């Protein structure tokens, strides 16, 4: 897997301590706003801990998100206009939702945010990104739509939409030398996003090295392992105990789980405060953190083609191992023969 290498100049540019920072969060891509709503469940850290100064050493943070801020209307938009005019800096730009291709039609538009003061016309989401990305200290894609296009970018959709790396370029870097940071998931696992944000905030004060990203621009420590490697049902897979209907505790690969090849930590981390996590609670993994989602994982609920081979291979020894373990288990469930002699004498 490719690792991004950074020059000494890039490292020193991003280690100049930043005492305060704004987060400008635009949900006006093609989005369902699910990633913003997911943030309200974050605990490691929570939004409140970040915003109220509950975590030492990071900059003071001001969050501008249409759902999570007290500002309304013009008061809310003013932060974005100021940033576009170069009057608000430094800031982290967060994009939620996929970015449409506004050049693929003769009239109308796909997505906008706010209005132009002079013309009164909507400002396209693309234009905001064009204006703000070059001025941002870092740019973060929240959720799979913003990262890779996601559901809105399915084959046949009329918008021609895409993720931030396709829009800005995969090699794009902020003026601080930071690549686009993608935190995928549909929606993003709340703590994955907040932990990434916390990492960036530590970078902003020079307390963390450049964020390590994989070749899909995901934080490597969060997306380096598969769902399968952290799944509660892994023991059943190994023993070739495959469920053929929902409601079973066994492995659900034959019901359509893609966990063995999908990079996601939800099996280990759970969803909210460690609770949940798709296969752990009976839901097949449909690959929502992957650049190929959703097209390459469809039709959902069909057994993944590759797993036919692997589950058949496991079945050749898994059932025998399971039987041997039950035999050993039965023995271990009995006390050693030298105990209890008083009653057998
Ligand atoms: Fe909604 Fe999923 Fe797209 Fe986030 S990634 S905006 S949750 S569809
Ligand atoms: Fe792997 Fe999915 Fe089975 Fe879990 S349920 S063990 S992730 S195949
Ligand atoms: Fe998405 Fe699969 Fe992770 Fe669930 S386990 S969040 S479906 S990638």
Per-residue pLDDT tens digits for 182-218: 999 999 999 999 999 999 999 999 999 999 999 999 9
* Whole-structure pTM value: 0.92
Q: Which residues line ligand 2 (CB under 6 A)?
A: 227-228, 231, 233-234, 237, 251-253, 257, 259-260, 279, 285
Structure tokens at 336: 């050693």
Q: Give domain 9-222's CATH superfamily.
A: NADH:ubiquinone oxidoreductase-like, 20kDa subunit (3.40.50.700)
> Distance, CA 38 to ligand 1 centroid (Å)?
10
Contact 183, 175 (CB under 8 A): no
The whole-angstrom separation of Cα 89 and Cα 22 is: 7
> Distance, CA 188 to ligand 3 centroid (Å)?
9
Mean pLDDT across the chain, nearest whole number? 93
Sorted by sequence, the CB contacts under 8 Å of residue 108 that are 6+ apart come out as none
Ligand 2 atom 8 nearest Cα: 253
Write down the pLDDT at residue 10.
Answer: 53
Sorted by sequence, the CB contacts under 8 Å of residue 339 that are 6+ apart come out as none
How do residues 84-105 score in pLDDT, each as one tens digit?
Answer: 999 999 999 999 999 999 999 9
CATH 4.10.480.10 in the chain is located at: 228-326
Ligand nearest to the CA of 222: 3
Residue range 228-326, CATH number: 4.10.480.10
Ligand nearest to the CA of 264: 3
Ligand nearest to the CA of 34: 1
> Distance, CA 120 to ligand 1 centroid (Å)?
29
Alpha helices (runs of H) in 211-253, residue ranges in sequence order: 220-223, 234-238
CATH 3.40.50.700 in the chain is located at: 9-222
Backbone angles phi, psi at 128, to 5 degrees: -60, -45
Q: In terms of Cα–Cα distance, which of 177, 194, 165, 182 is closest to 223? A: 182
Q: Is residue 4 predicted with pLDDT exceeding 50?
A: no
Write down the pLDDT at residue 315.
Answer: 86
Q: Which atom of ligand 3 is nearest to the CA of 288?
A: 1
Instruction: Give 244: exposed, middle or buried? Use CB within 10 Å, 0-12, 13-18, 19+.
Output: exposed
The whole-angstrom separation of Cα 31 and Cα 258 is: 24
Contact 30, 162 (CB under 8 A): no
The 3-class SS string of 21-41 reads EEEEEECCCECCCHHHHHHCC
Ligand 2 atom 1 nearest Cα: 228
């Amino acid at each position: 897997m490719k690792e991004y290498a950074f020059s000494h100049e890039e490292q020193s540019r991003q280690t100049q301590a930043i005492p305060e920072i704004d987060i400008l969060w635009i949900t006006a891509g093609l989005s369902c706003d699910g990633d913003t709503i997911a943030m309200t469940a974050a605990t490691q850290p929570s939004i409140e801990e970040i915003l109220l100064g509950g975590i030492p050493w990071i900059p003071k943070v001001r969050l501008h998100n249409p759902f999570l801020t007290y500002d309304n209307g013009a008061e809310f938009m003013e932060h974005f206009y100021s940033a576009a005019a170069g009057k608000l800096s430094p800031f982290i730009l967060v994009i939620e939702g996929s970015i449409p291709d506004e050049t693929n039609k003769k009239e109308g538009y796909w997505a906008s945010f706010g209005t132009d003061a002079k013309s009164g016309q909507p400002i396209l989401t693309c234009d905001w990104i064009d204006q703000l990305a070059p001025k941002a200290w870092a740019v973060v894609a929240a959720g799979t739509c913003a990262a890779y296009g996601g559901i809105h970018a399915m084959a046949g959709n009329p918008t021609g939409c895409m993720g931030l790396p396709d829009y800005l370029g995969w090699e794009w870097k902020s003026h601080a030398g930071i690549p686009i940071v993608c935190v995928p998931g549909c929606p993003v696992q709340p703590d994955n996003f907040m932990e990434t944000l916390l990492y960036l905030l530590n970078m902003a004060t020079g307390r963390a090295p450049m964020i390590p990203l994989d070749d899909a621009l995901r934080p490597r420590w969060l997306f380096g392992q598969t769902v399968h490697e952290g799944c509660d049902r892994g023991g059943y897979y190994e023993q070739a105990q495959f469920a053929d209907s929902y409601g079973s505790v066994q492995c659900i690969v034959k019901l359509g789980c893609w966990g063995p090849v999908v990079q996601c930590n939800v099996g280990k981390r759970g969803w909210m405060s460690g609770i949940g996590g798709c296969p752990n609670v009976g839901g097949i993994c449909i690959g929502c953190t992957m650049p190929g989602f959703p097209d390459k994982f469809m039709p959902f609920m069909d057994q993944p083609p590759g797993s036919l081979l692997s589950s058949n291979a496991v079945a050749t020894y898994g059932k025998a191992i399971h039987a041997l373990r039950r035999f050993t288990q039965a023995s271990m469930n009995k006390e050693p023969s030298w105990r209890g002699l008083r009653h057998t004498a």
